[in-house]
A and B are shown apart, each in its own frame.
Chain A
Amino acid sequence: MLSLIQTALELGLIYALTVLALFLSYSMLDVCDLSTDGCFTLGAAAGAVVALSGHPLLALPAAMLAGMTSGLVTALLQTRLGIDSLLAGIIVNTGLYSVNIAVMAGASQVSLNRTDTLFTLARDLLKSTPLAGGHKLVVLAVLTALAVVLLTLFLNTRLGLAIRATGDNRDMVRASSIDPVFTVTVGLCLSGALTGLSGCLLAQYQRSAEINLGTGVLTVALASLLIGRVLARRGGILLRAAGAVAGAFLFRLIYALALQLDMPAYMLKLTSAVIVALTIAVPYLKKQYPLLLRANQGKGGKGTC
């Protein structure tokens, strides 16, 4: 049971970075970035290749840079070439499939079984300390906490405020002499960097990267984000970002428990799809409910329509 929770925590912390990426793009910029899946795999592939060449630490910034580039392309397509933002994400996602295989030198998988990873380094470092058993957890907790703190600090700077206002009221961003094109671009680059880092960590965690690693990550992360929103609806950015991380953990925990109840592993994606659909649909249905109720009460009184 304890190891089950620990694994859920570890995976939750890894995916939390993608959830934070969506927190930035989906919640702040109000852009639904459909390139997340491909970008996640890109981070995993780029990170794995760099780790394989003997630089497991350098893999992290490399994956972030790769993700940032992907975010930049998505942003340029929608801001400079007039491509609808959903379509821009889909296009980039499709293109990334080829790019990701190319990054892995034509293979659809890279194994890190015989290479040092961030986690093996941490294991060796923490060998004779009380933290020895939880070296993965320590690394991931530090990284994710750092991401939450830096993101919160950033979102309270003038640039961060401009990014938040972009999703809230673009007119007001322009009125503040800031180009929304710029804020969307910066926001998507950062969000790409976080997604890439998330993918890189997952690859090092499970010691392999493969072309389908990112499939469905967007839905899973969106489900986590929406769970997090229920946990921390109001409040400052720090609270809401922490809520997003908690949502990621809770999602993995629910999933792990479902597996215990003999739910087959392939049900993960259906589960997340249902969660996303429900969390978005429930507030809508709640609003519709009084209408349905009255329509039923006044049967026959609906007039001619």
Chain B
Amino acid sequence: MLNLTHITKTFNPGTVNEKTALRDISLHLDRGDFVTVIGSNGAGKSTLMGAIAGDFLTDSGTVELDGRDVTLAPSHLRAKRMGRLFQDPARGTAPGMTIEENLTLAGGKGGWFSRTSKTDRSRFREILSQLDMGLEDRLRQPVGLLSGGQRQALALLMATMETPDLLLLDEHTAALDPQTAEKVLAVTRRVVEENRITTLMVTHNMTQALTLGTRTLMMDSGSIVLDIGGEERKTMTVEGLLAAFRANVGRGLDTDRILLRPEGE
């Protein structure tokens, strides 16, 4: 499904601010994989997402999506088959436009001059009602009036309305309060499972990284230092993960922003 080979990215090369954010990353995701990514601050997780989504041109390496080489494709063309959510709920929706207008734009059906139809509207109501946030009765309200959690849930619907081949989630619940985060996560799990979407999810929650999905990656200073799945992952504990990190990297994981236990405990 997704195939990265030898991706490298250095920001501001040749200056004092030079920073190698990705070092020779190779990664393969199969269709239906749900991979969680965890790592210290500045490990390059967001940059990895950016490289896949096409925010910038990588210095070397190739990005293949479903057998097609998209290394040089601009981000809006890759977006045809990729959905993406950011930590900041404001980035996924247009605040000055109504819920209905946002959904119409994201839905991608019809030509340039098509307008929101009655069937569109009833479809919007139906998928919104599954969120159980009362948004189905607020189609005509500007998205700017919604809470962060509601916006993020809406952004998730928008990103997956046309089932994408790949879903990129970059700490998309990190800015929400625990209850809302839990709710958005539940929606994420349902949408991903129902549509069998291949997903790459960055999280700063260790337990989440181990319990959600089918495979866990750990990143540190631009490299993938740990990649576990299958039986090994099923029996893995947070402590085990930290020990494996120390064994592979030679030092402990800086856990400033990382939650070692489930939230609320």
Contacts and interface: CB of A to CB of B under 8 A. Distances in A.
A156 B115 contact: yes
Contact of A157 (B80, B113, B158): B113
A165 B79 contact: no
Interface stretch (A37-45, A48-56, A169-177, A196-204): A169-177
Contacts of A302: none
Interface stretch (B7-15, B24-32, B63-71, B96-104): B96-104
B84 interface: yes
A158 B95 contact: no
A161 interface: yes
A165 B94 contact: yes
A169 B76 contact: no
A171 B77 CA distance: 13
A164 interface: yes
- Interface residue tally of chain B, by bracket? 20 to 34
B40 interface: no
Given A165-B105, A174-B76, A158 B110 contact: yes
A172 B93 contact: yes
B136 to A, nearest CB: 20
Interface in A133-177: 156-159, 161-162, 164-165, 167-169, 171-177
Nearest to B109: A158
B116 interface: yes
A179 B97 contact: no
A178 interface: yes
A158 B114 contact: yes
Given A164-B94, A164-B97, A178 B114 contact: no
Interface of A: 156-159, 161-162, 164-165, 167-169, 171-180
Interface of B: 74-77, 79-80, 83-84, 86, 90-97, 101-102, 104-106, 108, 110-116, 158-159
29 contacts: A156-B115, A157-B114, A158-B104, A158-B110, A158-B113, A158-B114, A159-B113, A164-B96, A164-B97, A165-B94, A165-B97, A165-B102, A165-B105, A168-B97, A169-B90, A169-B93, A172-B92, A172-B102, A172-B106, A173-B105, A175-B83, A175-B84, A175-B92, A175-B158, A176-B79, A176-B105, A176-B106, A176-B108, A179-B76
Instruction: Give 10 nearest A-B pairs by CB, closest first.
Output: A168-B94, A159-B112, A174-B76, A165-B94, A169-B94, A177-B80, A168-B96, A177-B79, A157-B113, A161-B105
